[in-house]
Chains A and B, each alone.
Chain A
């Protein structure tokens, strides 16, 4: 039996169109003016013990909502969900014992207490025996140098240190499954790398199932064998990460800031690219942020350096950045049939 079984899972939120003021709040009590948000819309997948899954998608895709249902916070609107054989919502306390959860940047450690005291309290809460506790603390110390932080109050830790503490803490009671919701968000590159090693080590040494949500493809590339891509509440792809990498590993986005940018600039850029590099050039152009034009390039077809020099010589470029392909772009390409 799979550790996690999800079948036709739905979560729909009724969002009230709220009125202004106190009187409005009162009227709202009787209002039937709802919008339905289909946060999770017919999701199915099974996860085996020991797997490390990358659950990815752009902001608002429904990742956190799925995790909230797997952890028992939210009751599904419909569909079935079993974790270790039980529906999580109906068995919150029992399920909590076999799970570890880290939700983004919101720490679950005791803000005012020294780090070590948080771990000792967790030891009591989860009834971890002394030997397991000592073993785990030793392992965490090897991985992240936890000992140096023992005496420090949680509030004084840097975001990276705190996330490392939170992540190791979620493994303290030897859970069967750990949910990491955007654990690398807001971290700089070096801390991110550290975080990835730690997660990988914990997954391998403890054989803990890990479900990792992120909108950073790099995390998934580094950690997961299987990837589930979700958007607008629906699963777009569920399969081997290699397949995704083969497609998107070659993609880079060139962000350029052009002086005197206006609507015609985008058109001009697109037109000249086709003229210069041909129609099957693997280049797409869009304005994602204000004043920044995103040029996404499939390096298998057109080298990034060529595009860069072409843009630099033909347009009054003010600033340039090169980034990995964004999740939004990946999703767009999956919709366009890239993985089918």
Chain B
């Protein structure tokens, strides 16, 4: 417990400084936030066009899709905001700048992620929340305290799935020279997560459900709130999937860190 408060304190100390430094480049912050806002709405535009010609996608209507997408936007935000530094891991590993993360008396993953805080991700998070509220009013979803708690828990574990996928993919850099293909695959897969898994044919559905389970980033957990009466049992497995995957990703990270030998000289 003492350790957790110490780490939290350090995190806020570092991030507060970091945000202060960033705020000196206000134009940069505003422009990248606007960019983030529109790029996250782009997928919504695709839905809009799609639903101009059809009324349902694999049995899900437009507003339900909006809800799933809003869930997705919130669920990927912690990855974007807190774990953003992982996209750069491969540079640190090949350039040898990764060495410094060993030298502090801190958990290495903590130290590593604390060095980056992506402010523009907050725009995405805010947009996601607004959209989720809007969609759930339109869909007439009844919120009770218990269901709100369930929503938070589902969002938390969905975030862990997203984080685990990116962390594991980035760790490829510890073993292969050019890990970009692995990382870009993880990036591309992410774009499939806000769609109903039933639109994918057999092999992909199995892949996205059991192998690289991005279905758990938005689709399966959203079902609990959209169609509680016909939820697949998979939806309730999502906390397990989230925690399990994150534990696995952390293990991969630890193995990578221990086997890294630097670049020489």
- Interface positions of A (Cβ within 8 A of B): 13, 18, 22, 25, 39, 59-60, 64, 68, 71-75, 92-94, 96-97, 99, 101, 103, 106, 108, 110, 112-114, 117, 120-121, 124-126, 153
Q: Is B13 an interface residue (CB 8 A)?
A: yes
Which of B103, B181, B261 is in CB contact (< 8 Å) with A71?
B103
Residue contact B18 to A92, C-beta cutoff 8 Å: no
The residue among B96, B106, B261 with the most chain A CB atoms within 10 A of its own CB is: B261
Hey, which chain A residues are within 8 Å of B96, CB to CB? Answer: 106
Hey, which chain B residues are within 8 Å of A74, CB to CB? Answer: 261-262
Interface hits, B90-114 → A, CB 8 Å: 96-97, 99-100, 102-107
Residue contact B99 to A94, C-beta cutoff 8 Å: no
Q: Is B17 an interface residue (CB 8 A)?
A: yes
In the complex, the chain A residue whose C-beta lies closest to that of B95 is A106
Q: Is B176 an interface residue (CB 8 A)?
A: yes
Which of A71, A94, A113, A114 is in CB contact (< 8 Å) with B105?
A94
In the complex where A13-B261, A25-B176, A74-B261 touch, is A113 in contact with B18 (Cβ < 8 A)? yes
Hey, which chain A residues are within 8 Å of B115, CB to CB? Answer: 110
- When A and B form their complex, what is the total count of cross-chain residue pairs whose Cβ atoms lie within 8 Å? 72
Hey, which chain A residues are within 8 Å of B103, CB to CB? Answer: 71, 96, 99, 101, 108
A74 to B181: give the CA distance in the assembly, Å: 28
In the complex where A68-B262, A112-B21, A121-B13 touch, is A25 in contact with B105 (Cβ < 8 A)? no
Residue contact A124 to B105, C-beta cutoff 8 Å: no
In the complex, the chain A residue whose C-beta lies closest to that of B16 is A117
Residue contact B9 to A124, C-beta cutoff 8 Å: yes
Q: Is B177 an interface residue (CB 8 A)?
A: yes
Nearest 4 interchain pairs by C-beta: A96-B105, A97-B105, A108-B100, A112-B21
Residue contact B104 to A125, C-beta cutoff 8 Å: yes
Q: Is B265 an interface residue (CB 8 A)?
A: yes
In the complex, the chain A residue whose C-beta lies closest to that of B108 is A92
Q: Is B126 an interface residue (CB 8 A)?
A: no
| Distance (whole angstroms) from the CB of B121 to the closest CB of chain A | 17
Residue contact B14 to A106, C-beta cutoff 8 Å: no
Interface magnitude class on chain B? 20 to 34
In the complex, the chain B residue whose C-beta lies closest to that of A122 is B104
| Distance (whole angstroms) from the CB of A116 to the closest CB of chain B | 10
In the complex where A13-B261, A97-B105 touch, is A73 in contact with B10 (Cβ < 8 A)? no
Which of B21, B178, B258 is in CB contact (< 8 Å) with A113?
B21
Residue contact B10 to A117, C-beta cutoff 8 Å: no
Residue contact A125 to B99, C-beta cutoff 8 Å: no
Hey, which chain A residues are within 8 Å of B106, CB to CB? Answer: 93, 96, 125
A71 to B18: give the CA distance in the assembly, Å: 28
* A-contact 0/1 string along B120-132, CB 8 Å cutoff: 0000000000000
A97 to B96: give the CA distance in the assembly, Å: 22
A75 to B128: give the CA distance in the assembly, Å: 46
Residue contact A22 to B104, C-beta cutoff 8 Å: no
Residue contact A71 to B265, C-beta cutoff 8 Å: no
Residue contact A103 to B100, C-beta cutoff 8 Å: yes
Residue contact A110 to B97, C-beta cutoff 8 Å: no
Hey, which chain A residues are within 8 Å of B9, CB to CB? Answer: 124
- 20 other A-B residue contacts (CB within 8 Å) besides A68-B99, A120-B13: A18-B177, A25-B178, A39-B264, A60-B264, A64-B264, A68-B262, A73-B99, A73-B260, A74-B261, A92-B102, A94-B105, A101-B103, A106-B97, A106-B100, A108-B103, A110-B18, A117-B17, A121-B10, A124-B9, A125-B105
| Distance (whole angstroms) from the CB of B182 to the closest CB of chain A | 11
A108 to B261: give the CA distance in the assembly, Å: 18
Hey, which chain B residues are within 8 Å of A125, CB to CB? Answer: 10, 104-106
A74 to B96: give the CA distance in the assembly, Å: 14
The residue among B105, B178, B258 with the most chain A CB atoms within 10 A of its own CB is: B105
In the complex where A71-B102, A106-B97, A124-B13 touch, is A153 in contact with B261 (Cβ < 8 A)? no
| Distance (whole angstroms) from the CB of A221 to the closest CB of chain B | 23
The residue among A18, A72, A92, A96 with the most chain B CB atoms within 10 A of its own CB is: A92
A112 to B115: give the CA distance in the assembly, Å: 10
Residue contact B17 to A121, C-beta cutoff 8 Å: yes
A59 to B264: give the CA distance in the assembly, Å: 10
In the complex, the chain B residue whose C-beta lies closest to that of A13 is B261
A43 to B264: give the CA distance in the assembly, Å: 18
| Distance (whole angstroms) from the CB of A112 to the closest CB of chain B | 5
Hey, which chain A residues are within 8 Å of B258, CB to CB? Answer: 75
Hey, which chain B residues are within 8 Å of A114, CB to CB? Answer: 21
| Distance (whole angstroms) from the CB of B170 to the closest CB of chain A | 17
Hey, which chain A residues are within 8 Å of B99, CB to CB? Answer: 68, 73, 103, 106
A255 to B102: give the CA distance in the assembly, Å: 41
24 contacts between A and B (CB under 8 A): A39-B264, A60-B264, A64-B262, A64-B264, A68-B99, A71-B103, A73-B262, A93-B106, A93-B107, A96-B103, A97-B105, A101-B103, A106-B96, A106-B97, A106-B100, A108-B103, A110-B17, A112-B21, A113-B21, A117-B17, A120-B13, A121-B14, A125-B104, A125-B105
Residue contact B105 to A93, C-beta cutoff 8 Å: yes
